[in-house]
A and B are shown apart, each in its own frame.
Chain A
Amino acid sequence: MLKLEDYHHQDPTWCRGCGLYGLFSAFKKVAFSLKIKPEKMSIISGIGCHGRLNSYFNAYGFHSLHGRTLPIAQGVKLANTQLSVVAVSGDGDAYSIGLGHFIHSLRRNVDMTYIVVNNRIYGLTQGQTSPTSRMNFVSPSTPYGSKEQPLEGLQMALAAGGSFIARGFSGAPQQLASLITAGMKHKGFSLVEVLSPCVTHNKIDTYQLFKSVIFDVDKDPNYDPTNKNKAWKIFSRHGDKLPVGLIYKETRPSFEEQSLPGRKPLAFLDLVPEAGKIEKILEKFE
């Protein structure tokens, strides 16, 4: 019998009050509720405070390079489609240095879950401006204020053909857990952005602030997450306010369903082909 503690490898050492604690506990609960054996999970993280998450979690973990979580995670999933693959990134990892992979992963639609922990700052490198920092944000890298527009990951994801787009808040771990659960059940690429305060470096985007700007589409009976037009409109419905909940979901075949239908995981194939099979192909060169 699996227990919740089976997913706990060691106690985190994030700053007290960090939003990542909320994600960590929600994520363990998800794995437990889905009864995924720890050895059947592979968690790939990037560089940033979020990158420690998989070393605290008990599962196969891969702490990779800055920005390269997604290609590595897709490689893992394609090599072994029986694994539950989850990639975790920060806003720098996902929306800055790894942005190219973000867009293409959404359209490729490999069956995996991508959690983007958005704290609107570079925490691990001591508080520089990030691509999601607001205009005129003052930080050690922009002492006179940032002069760039913040980037909206979820709207890009919708434009890029994402098949599951959701946003949670680390201050609301229950909803976050249910969004990650739905994402992991989704057959395709599921994106769950997590608004997650950096209590040490970001004194503006606090729990208080996030609470005051979010509105929950899951609680709106008129909202239909399968309607793309509604999804587009929701981003601007309440001015600058941010929607949380399941924003968009569609059913379409995953990349591997189309390219690896019903096959044994590549990782465990018998590599010796039947006799004469390659020889036959080589006849074309004669």
Chain B
Amino acid sequence: MIKDISVMIAGQAGDGVLFTGNVLAKILKKEGWEVATYRYFPSNIRGEPTHYIIRASQKKIFGLGNEIDVLLSFDCESIIKYTKLIAQGGVVLCDGEELSRLKPTHKKGKAFHKFPLKILAKKHFKNDIFKNMIALGALCYILDLNFRLIERIIINAFLKRKGKEIVRMNIDAVNLGCEQARLIVEPSERHKLVKKMDTGKMFISGDEAIAVGALAAGCRFFAAYPICPATEIWQWLALHFPEFNGIVVQTEDELAAINMALGASYAGTRAMTSTSGPGGSLMMESYGLSGMAEIPIVIVDVQRVGPSTGMPTKTEQSDLNQWIYGSHGEFPRIILSPGTVTECFDFTAKAFDLADKYQVPVVLLTEQDVGQNSRTAKKFDLSKIKIDRGKLLSEEELKNNKDYKRYAFTSNGISPRSLPSMKNGIHMVEGNEHDEKGYRDEDPENRIRMMQKRMGKLSGSAKDMIPPKLWGDKQATVGIIGFGSTLGPIVEAIEELGDLNIRAKNLQIRTVWPFPVETVRDFIRSCEFVFVVDNNYSGQLHDLIHSQVKPEAGMQKILNYSSVAFRPSDISTQIKRAVRDA
């Protein structure tokens, strides 16, 4: 019985790879499977190879598996490139003439079939756009999926927009694909999936989950500039904000985006901006303004491959240092890193409370892998969200205050905030160093006190931060530390190591800053081997742990800067080798 399956759909950008894959993912989800998708596409609209992996499992999964069981391609290029990933017993359908280029040794134990998708589409429907539905029909046959579900999806997608005739043609195309696959694929080559019940889960991307989290947390102002792979956050908010009286502004650049959000937040609205690395670089100066002027803001960075323009649609974790150390001068900041779509939702909502409570910028640091790929998740628990705006004064509270000080020195450094329009609350907000009322002040004594006030705000904050999460066997002495999107491959690598009798555990860092020094130190002390997983070149998390924890024992880096997300075996193989060699 198949417990875990990965289907790759490949072709050229513009072939409808994403559409085909999304329909397949929805069917699998409706049949009760855990689903995780993985988009690998060029920063281009048409031409250039692209692929989409849909993985379904009976257990909880967060990302890619190691192999591909079924590959359907609209051309031959991807087949040749990914032959190595195809599992023994795997089946390949390919629309192209170049299968002969494959060496027989590469084909051993795998079934390759020529499948003329475009010719069939043109012959039967006079339009090669139907190749996608024919492909879906073939996949439904190979995977033994429920045709009713695909019919329903077609009706939902096309009936209103395109009418009955188009619906009929699409359903015919699915049936044709199924029939043609029956003629080509041997019964033994099929990968029949056991049907289960739809458990009512959601199928959602990290970007969408962040948008939902922001809406639920009371964010009502969003400003951004288009950038891959963060734009989906904005597009979801742009669609849904109006019915909650919120506003989305498309700004002229990222400088305007963050500053407009700061203006809105200063005036009292929960505000957010989202971007990726290049936009983050542009926002650095205002990141510091948020820290200096103590204006809450939530900044989302959906990281992509850098530096510079890098690879806009591919995943990486190389902006960590930028947010921890970035911008000139020193100011407090909080950086959260979700590992799952559910955490994207939870942490975004939490980010607004933290920003309000500590009056600091809060960065939600995620990656293209989590942001743009969809996964099944339990329905979000909206009842958990309690909006806490921290020390935000009301006009009533200011009534008898004739000497209000916006930046009053307090025991924990956090000063009650008034909003423009409130009587008795008038103050200055300064990017310059300022006194308790906010007015420019260059006195060294005041400077020292103000620095201590701001920098001290997070000193007692550990209780409010999202603690690291331990995964795997607590007693294990092989320890892995990671953050963000590496969670899935790490957790699966632990299972693979378990099969080899190597017991391992993972500490998932969820608040990257302020760094959870004690927990990480205890974790490292409980291990004989420590591996730090970084989706970047230099080992930014590794170096962060090194500088913050100063561990006695050495740690080994597991790095990936290939632009392709980690697969579990990338991690387990390296750990196996290190542990066995020791």
Contact = CB atoms under 8 A, between A and B. Distances in A.
Contact of B263 (A58, A75, A264): A75
A39 B425 contact: yes
Given A59-B426, A271-B220, A104 B251 contact: yes
B174 interface: no
A181 to B, nearest CB: 21
Interface stretch (A26-34, A61-69, A168-176, A200-208): A61-69
Nearest to A271: B218
B427 interface: yes
A16 interface: no
Contacts of A272: 218, 387
A74 B260 contact: yes
Contact of A78 (B204, B215, B249, B255): B249
A42 B217 CA distance: 27
Nearest to A264: B245
Interface string A264-286: 11111101110001110110011
A78 B427 contact: no
Contacts of B262: 72, 75
Contacts of A277: 243-244
Contact of A61 (B215, B240, B251, B428): B428
B419 interface: yes
Interface in B234-262: 240, 243-247, 249, 251-253, 255-257, 259-262
A60 B215 CA distance: 28
A47 B440 CA distance: 13
Contact of A42 (B220, B223, B267): B267
A75 B428 contact: no
Given A63-B430, A278-B382, A282-B202, A271 B260 contact: no
Interface string B424-450: 111111111000001110000000000
Given A55-B440, A65-B285, A269-B220, A76 B259 contact: no
Interface string B272-286: 000000000000011
A71 to B, nearest CB: 4
B439 A68 contact: no
B379 A78 contact: no
Interface in A86-135: 100-101, 103-104
B432 A79 contact: no
A38 interface: yes
A63 B429 contact: yes
A80 B387 CA distance: 20
A212 to B, nearest CB: 36
Contacts of A60: 420-421, 425-427
B70 interface: no
Max chain B CB contacts within 10 Å: which of A59, A61, A63, A72? Answer: A72
A114 to B, nearest CB: 14
Nearest to A70: B256
B269 A266 contact: yes
A38 B419 CA distance: 13
A282 B380 contact: yes
Contacts of B426: 38-39, 58-60
Interface in B404-435: 419-432
B212 A267 contact: no
B428 A285 contact: no
B252 A266 contact: no
A47 B289 CA distance: 13
A60 B438 CA distance: 10
Contacts of B438: 61
Contact of A71 (B217, B260, B427): B260
B192 interface: no
B259 A63 contact: no
Given A80-B421, A82-B421, A100 B253 contact: yes
B268 interface: yes
Given A79-B268, A259-B247, A74 B263 contact: yes
Contacts of A52: 440
B212 A79 contact: no
A83 B268 CA distance: 12
A40 interface: yes
A42 B440 contact: no
A50 B253 CA distance: 25
A39 B427 CA distance: 9
B267 A267 contact: yes
B202 A76 contact: no
Contacts of A266: 220-221, 245-247, 264, 268-269
A76 B212 contact: no
B431 A65 contact: yes
Given A63-B431, A72-B263, A266-B246, A79 B240 contact: no
A206 B283 CA distance: 38
B201 interface: yes
A44 interface: yes
B428 A55 contact: yes
A263 B267 contact: no
A139 interface: no
Contact of B215 (A58, A62, A267, A278): A278
Interface string A244-274: 0000000000000001100111111101110
A280 B420 CA distance: 35
A54 interface: yes
Contacts of B245: 260, 263-264, 266, 269
Contact of B379 (A65, A73, A282): A282
A85 to B, nearest CB: 9
Given A63-B428, A272-B218, A282-B379, A39 B439 contact: no
B387 A79 contact: no
Contacts of A264: 245
A224 B212 CA distance: 51
Contacts of B431: 47, 63-65
B490 to A, nearest CB: 26
A199 B139 CA distance: 79
A154 B123 CA distance: 62
Contacts of B243: 277
B247 A260 contact: yes
Contacts of A73: 263
Contacts of A286: 200-203
A65 B289 contact: yes
A62 B266 contact: yes
A37 to B, nearest CB: 8
A48 B251 CA distance: 24
Max chain A CB contacts within 10 Å: which of B212, B264, B430? Answer: B264
Interface of A: 37-40, 42, 44, 47, 52, 54-55, 58-65, 67-68, 70-80, 82-83, 100-101, 103-104, 259-260, 263-269, 271-273, 277-279, 281-282, 285-286
7 contacts: A39-B423, A42-B267, A47-B431, A79-B268, A79-B269, A80-B269, A271-B387
Given A68-B289, A71-B263, 19 more contacts: A39-B422, A55-B439, A60-B421, A62-B429, A72-B262, A73-B263, A75-B262, A76-B263, A76-B267, A79-B269, A100-B255, A101-B255, A104-B251, A259-B247, A265-B268, A266-B221, A266-B247, A267-B268, A285-B203
> 10 closest pairs, A vs B, by CB?
A75-B263, A267-B268, A271-B218, A79-B267, A71-B259, A72-B263, A75-B260, A75-B264, A79-B264, A104-B252
